[in-house]
């Protein structure tokens, strides 16, 4: 859809939103149609890098040891070493808090089985199971990229949401982010745009404005 249409909808959503004493997020509400979401392969489940970021802090956690842990401490928000994994498994409250505080996790491949066994029941339902760290990866670049990334999941629901910025970002940047997300989601769907019933844009606590 045209950038001008997106821009007008964003401006209207911000204008209609009640004033808050914090910077509200802007998100898309996407409604699907003619798709059987009881089949996992039909669900939207994708990481999308926003060209202009989310406009807010994104925390990254790394499960690692040795050199990986040392390197991760330079750029990640939290580093969880192997001996801490079982401790977190025993302290479910702390494990849930860390899961909620971080948007993405990375992990050394050898640690993936124990993470799945000890923390999978907490990380999995939130869509936050770690991405394995591939050999020779530039960890700093990967973490920096994730800070501009969102994880979009429909699960088995026809309506799902995607954060695309904050109200104090440049309007053109928000428009570009929205265009990127819509295009990527359309690419993900079996019948493309035909599987989209409607898309709305809204602030965190404001009314929705129809885009499509």
Q: Residue 103, Cβ neighbours under 10 Å: how many?
A: 22
| Segment 169-189 mean pLDDT | 95
52-111 per-position pLDDT tens digit: 999 999 999 999 999 999 999 999 999 999 999 999 999 999 999 999 999 999 999 999
39-65 per-position pLDDT tens digit: 999 999 999 999 999 999 999 999 999
Length reported for the chain:
212
Nearest to 207 by CA among 24, 5, 18: 18
Percent of the chain's residues with pLDDT above 70: 100
- Tell me how far apart the alpha carbons of residues 109 and 68 are, in angstroms, rounded to a whole number: 11
Helix (H, G, I), strand (E, B) or coil at 27: strand
What sign does the CA torsion over 121, 123, 127, 131 have? negative
Q: Is the pLDDT of residue 1 over 90?
A: no
- Tell me how far apart the alpha carbons of residues 20 and 106 are, in angstroms, rounded to a whole number: 34
Contacts of 97 (CB under 8 A, 6+ apart): none
110-121 per-position pLDDT tens digit: 999 999 999 999
Nearest to 63 by CA among 44, 49, 46, 84: 84
Residue tagged 């602030």 (tokens): 203
Phi-psi region at 165: left, alpha or beta (left = phi > 0; alpha = psi -120 to 50): left
Q: 54: number of CA atoms within 13 Å, CB side?
A: 21
Q: Which domains can be identified in the chain, with CATH numbers?
A: 3-55+149-210 (3.30.190.20), 60-146 (3.40.50.790)
Q: What is the mean pLDDT of the chain?
A: 94
- Tell me how far apart the alpha carbons of residues 107 and 80 are, in angstroms, rounded to a whole number: 9
Helix (H, G, I), strand (E, B) or coil at 180: helix
Q: Is the pLDDT of residue 199 over 90?
A: yes
DSSP 111: G
């Amino acid at each position: 859809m045209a950038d001008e249409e997106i821009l007008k909808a964003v401006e209207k959503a911000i204008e209609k939103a009640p004033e808050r004493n914090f910077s509200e997020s802007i998100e898309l509400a996407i409604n699907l149609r003619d798709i059987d979401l009881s089949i996992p392969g039909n669900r939207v489940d994708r990481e999308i890098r926003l060209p202009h970021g989310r406009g807010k802090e994104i925390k990254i956690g790394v499960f690692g040891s040795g050199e990986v842990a040392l390197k991760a401490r330079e750029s990640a928000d939290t580093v969880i070493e192997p001996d801490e994994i079982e401790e977190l498994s025993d302290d479910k409250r702390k494990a849930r808090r860390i899961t909620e505080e971080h948007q993405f996790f990375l992990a050394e491949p050898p640690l993936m089985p124990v993470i799945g066994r000890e923390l999978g029941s907490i990380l999995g339902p939130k869509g936050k199971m770690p991405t394995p760290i591939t050999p020779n990866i530039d960890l700093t670049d990967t973490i920096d990229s994730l800070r501009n990334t969102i994880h979009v999941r429909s699960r088995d629901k026809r309506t799902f949401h995607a954060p695309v910025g904050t109200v104090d970002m440049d309007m053109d940047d928000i428009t570009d982010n929205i265009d990127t997300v819509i295009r990527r989601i359309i690419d993900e769907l079996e019948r493309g745009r035909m599987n989209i019933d409607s898309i709305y844009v809204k602030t965190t606590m404001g009314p929705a404005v129809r885009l499509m």
